[in-house]
């Protein structure tokens, strides 16, 4: 923790490297992390990441993702929406 009790902010790539067994991708322009299994974007703080990787949704989606059964059309739609949101 930084002085004053505020947590240090970690870069998205540093968190992706830290949680290297998870299907995460750094979103530098948003300063967030993208979960490729769940198609979710979230903050880089450790508590948020730990909550996400313990969620039932992530555990189920991770199994499907690892098996290579992720729906490419759903992923493409989500990524398209994220690109649109960034340009907006």
Domain boundaries, the chain: 12-87
CA trace torsion 64, 21, 35, 44 (10° rounding): 160
Chain CA centroid to CA 6, Å: 22
Tell me what pLDDT residue 41 has: 93
Contacts of 39 (CB under 8 A, 6+ apart): 74, 75, 78
Sign of CA dihedral 8, 14, 18, 22: positive
Averages of pLDDT over runs of 10 residues in the chain (88 residues) are 61 94 92 92 94 94 79 73 76
Which string of b and e fits 5-41 if b means at least 16 CB within 10 Å? eeeeebebeebbeebeebbbebbeeeebbbbbbbbbe
pTM exceeds 0.75: no
């Amino acid at each position: 923790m930084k002085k004053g009790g505020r947590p240090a902010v970690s870069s998205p790539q540093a968190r992706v490297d830290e949680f290297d067994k998870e299907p995460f991708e750094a979103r530098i322009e948003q300063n967030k992390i993208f979960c490729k299994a769940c198609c979710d974007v979230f903050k880089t703080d450790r508590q948020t990441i730990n909550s996400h990787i313990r969620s039932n949704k992530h555990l189920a989606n991770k199994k499907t993702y690892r098996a290579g059964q992720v729906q490419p059309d759903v992923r493409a739609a989500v990524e398209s929406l994220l690109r649109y949101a960034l340009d907006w």
